[in-house]
Amino acid sequence: DCKEKSNQAEDNRDIGFFLCQVYWENGAQITSPHDKEILKCIEECVEPWNGSWNENLVDTSPLTRDPLQEICASYMEDLKKICYHRELNRQTSLRFVHTSFHGVGHDYVQLAFQAFGFQPPIPVPEQKDPDPDFSTVKCPNPEEGESVLELSLRLAEKESARLVVATDPDADRLAVAELQVNGHWKVFTGNELAALFGWWMFACWKETSPKEADVKNVHMLATTVSSKILKAIAQKEGFHFEETLPGFKWIGSRVKDLLDHGKEVLFAFEESIGFMCGTSVLDKDGVSAAVVIAEMATYLETKSLTLAQKLTEIYGMYGYHISKTSYFLCYDPPTIKRIFEKLRNFDSPSTYPRFCGCYGILHIRDVTTGYDSSQLNKKLLLPVSKNSQMITFTFQNGCVATLRTSGTEPKIKYYAEMCAPPEQSDKAVLEEDLRQLIEALIANFLEPRKNGLVWRSV
C-alpha cells in the first residue's frame, strides 16, 4: 500500500498536481455546503482571467506580506496555555529524539520544546530537512511503526533517549515510540495515545481549575471509528464526550460550535494518530501533541512510571479498550454497494441483522441512510453522509465494529474494538474474543470469497 502511495505521489509531482486543505473563517476545515459551493465556483471559472498572472505583483503589491514569523510567535505563545510543568521540564534528565520524516516539522518542534522549557529534542539528521523524494523511507507515514522509524530508534539508542516523537511530513500527525525495560521499543497506536492524552488533559484540568469549575462544561471528542476510551473516561469523571464523522473537518467545526456556546474543550482525536490538545488550533496538530507527550513522560518519570505503564493503569481504571483495524480491496463499486445494501435488507427488506454468527447485536447506526436504533426515533444524531458507506454495530458483549468505504481508494475498511468494564481485566481473553468476533464479522457480513475481496493487513 505504501509503495502504491509512493508511486502515486511521484506521478502527482510529474504532472504538477497537488492537494491542499481549505479552511473556513471559523479556523476549521471546510464542510458541506461550503466545500460544494467552492468546487462549483472553481468549475465555473477554470480558465485564468486575462492579465491575472502577473509575477511582478509579488514584489510590488501592497497586499503582499509574509506573516510566518508573526504567526509562529503567536502559536508558540499560545502553546504555553497547555504547559503545566515547566519547572519539571527544565530539570528533567529525559532525552527525546524527533524525526520530521523529510517534512516541515523540525523547526516548529524545536521551538515548541523551547516554549515548554525543554532542551531541544535530538533531530534525526537524515530526515530533518524537507525532501519530496522521502529518500530514507519506503513510506513517509509514521503510522507504519518500527519499519519506518528505524533511523530514529537507532539514534535514540545511541543517544540514550527513551522516547521518540515522529511528526509526519506536514506535521499534523504524531507517532510515539518508547523504550521498554526489556529493551524493546513500543510504538503506540493512535487509540493508545488518545487514552494517555485524554487522561493527561483531564488530570491537568482538574489540578489547575478553581473548585467552582463545572466538570459538566468540559468536552472531549473523537471520530466514530476511533476508540471509545474517552467515552469510558467521561462516564466515570463526569465530563461530556461526543462523536463526529471521520475526519478532523468535522471535529474542528463541532469544537468551534462548543466554544461559541461557552463550553471548554480539552482534547479531540482520530485513530490515525491525529490529536488536538487544547483549542488554539481547530485541527490535528503533531507539533503541540509532540511537546505535550514529552511533558507527560517527564511528569510520569517523577512517579517512576513509563507511558506504557500509565496506559495499563488507565485501562485498569476505565476498562480495557482493545482495537483492530484493517481493510479489504474491492475494485468493483457495484459489489461494494451490494454488500452494504444486503446489510440494510438482511432477512427481509429494510431490516438489519440481529446477530453476527453467535454474537448478538445491540444497536446499529447507519450514517449513509440516517438510521440509529439506539435513538428513540431511530434517527441519526450525526450528519447523514449519503456519498459514502458506513455502518456501525454495537454488540451485546461490548464490542463496537464499523464497516466503511474509503473516500479515495477502493477499500472496505473495518474498525473493531472490545470495550470492557474495569473488572474484566484478562487482556488475553478480551483479545481472543475480539479476534473471534472479527472473524464472524468478515465471514457473515463481507463474505470475501463470494465477493472477491482481497484482504490487506494493517
pLDDT band at 19 (very low <50, low <70, confident <90, very high): low
Phi and psi, residue 174, nearest 5°: -135, 130
Domains along the chain with CATH numbers: 86-188 (3.40.120.10), 191-318 (3.40.120.10), 321-456 (3.30.310.50)
Residue 27's nearest CA partner among 271, 280, 198 is 280
Q: What is the pLDDT of residues 30-68, one digit of tens each?
A: 877 788 888 888 888 888 877 777 777 778 888 888 899
What mean pLDDT, rounded, does the chain reach? 92
Please list, in sequence order, all residues whose beta carbon lies within 8 angstroms of the beta carbon of residue 333, skipping any fewer than 6 positions away: 410
What is the reported pLDDT for 14?
A: 38
Q: What is the pLDDT of residues 349-364, one digit of tens each?
A: 999 999 999 999 999 9
Q: Which three cell numbers stand for residue 253?
A: 467545526
Q: What is the pLDDT of residues 217-255, one digit of tens each?
A: 999 999 999 999 999 999 999 999 999 999 999 999 999
Distance CA(111)–CA(341), nearest Å, equals 51
Q: Which three cell numbers stand for residue 206?
A: 482538574
**Quick check: 22 and 161 in contact, CB under 8 A?**
no
Q: What is the pairing mode between strands 274-277 and 264-270?
A: antiparallel
**Quick check: 198 and 220 in contact, CB under 8 A?**
yes
How many angstroms from the chain centroid is the CA of residue 188?
Answer: 12
Buried b (16+ CB within 10 A) or exposed e, 149-182: bebbbebbeeeebbbbbbbbbebbbbbbbbbeee
Phi and psi, residue 404, nearest 5°: -150, 160
Helix, strand or coil for residue 327? strand
Q: Which three cell numbers stand for residue 106?
A: 523540525
**Quick check: 284 and 274 in contact, CB under 8 A?**
yes
Helix 307-318 × helix 229-237 angle, to 10°: 60
How many angstroms from the chain centroid is the CA of residue 392?
Answer: 18
% of the chain surpassing 90 pLDDT: 81
Rg of the chain, C-alpha, whole Å? 23
pLDDT above 60: residue 413: yes
Phi and psi, residue 182, nearest 5°: -80, 5
